[in-house]
Structure formats: structure tokens, C-alpha cells
């Protein structure tokens, strides 16, 4: 209880098993594990169809976080680690997935995962992770045609939002909604650097700005930065947002305004839909199946 009152940056860890799915020994069970800088995600696929997933925070020990994410994903499926034919690790901490057969960069995985979640119409993917932002262009099959990643630093990412949640004492899940609760959109803060933006935010609060207004100004700065990355790779509809910040309606709606394009609606992940946060792990699992079949000459 004490924790839930004091740790505003804490987001919900959870796991899910898709209903109406089962597996047998003949099936090809593959796993994708995406160890991000803030969250670790594991997805279990049966014959290339999503079966279950788990999302946990990446702790100080990445190998442990990867194992924990997989444990969560396997919970309630009846599957054991030995039933898994092929594991692909991806994300910032991919080298820490000790049980992976292969490690891939997250770029290819995110495009593949977005292609699975939203379908072949997806041609531009914006992944807003814990510590970086990636703009990806892909074709109908989810194959990457171009991408842009890593600006100068981790400015304006999920971790920055966590810092703001703590500073303003607002639960991270409510930040997006709250940032939209302003009469007039304030100008963006001048810098998305987490350290400087925090200083700037404190100054604005002292000046009498409401929490909502400060959040709006910071969120807008992030959105402008993201839309610039997308403009560089070129925006081709349909456009989607993946990663943890895809759940931040304040970010997503401001990116839409900056680009003048609506992104495809996020699946209702709270009620049976696929979570855009697992796109990377899902793509890794799909590649795992393809690589397994290739290795067996199937």
C-alpha cells in the first residue's frame, strides 16, 4: 500500500494467456523475449499464432528479468521451457537473454510485430521505448525498408515520463489523460532532456502553472521530437505507435496533430486485445518460428 502511494512511476506488470488456444507436441512453440531498458516482455507463439505473454519491469539484473518475463508468459499454459523449439532475444538487453538461440536487433522485430497486430496495411511504426525512440518504415510483409534510431540521448522517452510522474505525484497511467486536460495548449518546453526538463518543470510550477499545463508542455516537446524523426524517414500511412508510450494518449494525440495524420487505433489490450507494448517480443517470436523452420529445412 505504501508503495502504491509513493511510487507513481510504477506501471502494471501482468501476464495473459489467449483463450481458445491450445498446443500439442507436434506444434512449433517459439518464444520472443524483448529485454527493454525499462520493461521486459516475453511472447509465446504456437505455430506462429500468439498464445501468451508476460510483461515485467527490467530490474537491475537483465538476465533475471528475461527469465522472469518468460516464466510469466508460460504461467497457466502448461508449457515447459523444454517444449520451446526456438527462442529469439531482442531489445536493448538482448545479449542478456541466456536461453536465446539467436539475438536480433529490435528494429526488424518491431516492424514484424506491428504487422501481426495491425495487419499488412502498416507502413510506418513509431516505437517509443523506455530509453529510445525509433521510427521504422516497412512493407506489406513487415520487412523493414528504412529506419531511424537513437537521437543524441534518452531524452523524451518512457523513462522521462516516469521521472515526471514521480515529480508531479501522478500515477504514470493517468499522465496522458491529464496532459490533455488543459484549456489551451501551452508552448512546448524548450528541452526534452530529462534532467533539464525536470528543472524547467519545477520552475514552471513555481510560476503557478498547473500540473496539467506542465505535463502538456513536456508531452508536446516529446511529440514534436518524435514527429521530426518520422518526417525524416518519411511518413507512409498506415501509421502506428508501439512500445510503452503507445498507451500515453497525450503523446499519441499530439504526434497525430504534429504530423496531421491519425494513427491506427490501439487494440483494446485490457480486454483481450494485443498489447502494443509486446510488438518487439512478438516479432522476435515470429522470427524464431521462421528461423526454426529454416534450420530444419521446412
Partner 1 sequence: MISFYGYTDGSGSYFIVVDSDKCDGCGRCVVQCVNGVLQVAPVFIDLEDKSVVVVRDDCCNKIGYLCAQCRPEENQAPCFLSCSVGAIKCVFDAC
Nearer to partner 1, 170 or 194 (CB): 194
Interface residue with partner 1, options 21, 153, 202, 265 (CB under 8 A): 153
Q: Is 146 in the site for partner 1 (CB under 8 A)?
A: yes
Interface residue with partner 1, options 6, 12, 150, 268 (CB under 8 A): 150
Q: Tell me which stretch binds partner 1 (CB under 8 A): 113-121, 198-206, 251-259, 283-291.
A: 283-291
Q: Is 120 in the site for partner 1 (CB under 8 A)?
A: no
Q: Is 296 in the site for partner 1 (CB under 8 A)?
A: no
Interface residue with partner 1, options 53, 118, 239, 287 (CB under 8 A): 287
Contact 57, 69 (CB under 8 A): no
Contact 155, 132 (CB under 8 A): no
Least distance from C-beta 233 to partner 1, angstroms? 7
Instruction: Lay out the site mask for partner 1 across 199-238 (x = CB under 8 A, - = otherwise).
Output: --------------------------x--xx--xx-----
Q: Is 144 in the site for partner 1 (CB under 8 A)?
A: yes
Q: Is 125 in the site for partner 1 (CB under 8 A)?
A: no
Q: Is 181 in the site for partner 1 (CB under 8 A)?
A: no
Instruction: Lay out the site mask for partner 1 across 80-119 (x = CB under 8 A, - = otherwise).
Output: ------------------------xx--x-----------
Residue 213 CA to residue 207 CA, distance in Å, equals 12
Residue 211 CA to residue 168 CA, distance in Å, equals 7
The site for partner 1, by CB under 8 A, has a size of 23
Least distance from C-beta 143 to partner 1, angstroms? 7
Residue 97 CA to residue 218 CA, distance in Å, equals 34
Least distance from C-beta 171 to partner 1, angstroms? 30
Whole-number CA gyration radius for the chain: 19
Nearer to partner 1, 74 or 135 (CB): 135
3-state secondary structure of 136: strand
Residue 76 CA to residue 82 CA, distance in Å, equals 16
CA nearest to 92, candidates 153, 34, 148: 34
> Between β-strands 86-90 and 102-103, what pairing exists: parallel, antiparallel or unpaired?
parallel
Q: Is 277 in the site for partner 1 (CB under 8 A)?
A: no
Residue 170 CA to residue 84 CA, distance in Å, equals 41
C-alpha grid cell, residue 162: 516516469
Q: Tell me which stretch binds partner 1 (CB under 8 A): 23-31, 148-156, 171-179, 247-255.
A: 148-156
Q: Is 294 in the site for partner 1 (CB under 8 A)?
A: yes
3-state secondary structure of 174: helix
Place of cell 496532459: 179
C-alpha grid cell, residue 272: 483481450
Interface residue with partner 1, options 145, 169, 195, 265 (CB under 8 A): 145
The CB-side HSE value for 232 (13 A sphere, CA atoms) comes to 15
Q: Tell me which stretch binds partner 1 (CB under 8 A): 145-153, 173-181, 215-223, 261-269.
A: 145-153
C-alpha grid cell, residue 9: 512511476
C-alpha grid cell, residue 87: 527462442
Residue 165 backbone class (left: φ over 0; alpha: ψ -120 to 50; beta: rest): alpha
Binding stretches for partner 1 (CB under 8 A): 104-105, 108, 143-153, 225, 228-229, 232-233, 287, 290-291, 294
Amino acid at each position: 500500500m505504501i508503495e502504491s502511494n509513493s511510487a507513481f512511476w510504477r506501471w502494471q506488470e501482468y501476464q495473459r494467456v489467449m483463450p481458445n488456444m491450445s498446443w500439442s507436441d507436434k506444434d512449433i512453440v517459439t518464444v520472443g523475449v524483448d529485454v527493454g531498458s525499462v520493461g521486459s516482455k516475453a511472447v509465446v507463439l504456437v505455430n506462429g499464432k500468439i498464445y501468451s505473454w508476460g510483461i515485467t519491469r527490467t530490474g537491475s539484473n537483465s538476465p533475471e528479468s528475461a527469465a522472469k518475463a518468460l516464466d510469466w508468459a508460460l504461467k497457466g499454459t502448461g508449457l515447459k521451457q523444454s517444449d520451446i523449439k526456438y527462442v529469439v532475444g531482442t531489445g536493448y538487453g538482448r545479449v542478456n537473454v541466456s536461453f536465446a538461440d539467436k539475438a536480433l536487433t529490435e528494429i526488424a522485430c518491431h516492424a514484424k510485430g506491428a504487422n501481426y497486430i495491425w495487419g499488412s496495411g502498416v507502413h510506418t511504426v513509431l516505437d517509443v521505448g523506455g530509453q529510445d525512440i525509433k521510427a521504422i518504415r516497412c512493407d506489406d510483409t513487415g520487412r523493414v525498408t528504412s529506419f531511424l534510431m537513437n537521437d543524441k540521448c534518452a531524452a523524451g522517452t518512457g523513462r522521462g515520463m516516469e521521472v515526471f510522474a514521480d515529480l508531479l505525484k501522478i500515477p504514470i497511467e493517468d499522465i496522458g489523460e491529464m496532459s490533455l486536460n488543459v484549456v489551451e495548449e501551452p508552448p512546448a518546453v524548450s528541452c526534452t532532456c530529462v534532467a533539464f526538463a525536470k528543472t524547467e518543470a519545477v520552475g514552471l510550477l513555481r510560476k503557478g502553472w498547473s500540473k496539467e499545463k506542465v505535463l502538456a508542455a513536456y508531452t508536446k516537446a516529446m511529440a514534436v521530437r518524435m514527429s521530426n524523426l518520422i518526417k525524416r524517414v518519411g511518413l507512409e500511412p498506415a501509421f502506428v505507435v508501439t512500445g510503452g508510450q503507445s498507451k500515453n494518449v497525450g503523446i499519441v494525440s499530439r504526434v497525430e496533430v504534429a504530423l496531421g495524420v491519425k494513427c491506427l487505433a490501439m487494440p483494446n489490450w485490457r480486454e483481450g486485445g494485443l498489447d502494443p507494448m509486446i510488438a518487439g517480443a512478438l516479432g522476435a517470436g515470429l522470427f524464431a518460428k521462421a528461423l526454426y523452420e529454416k534450420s530444419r529445412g521446412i
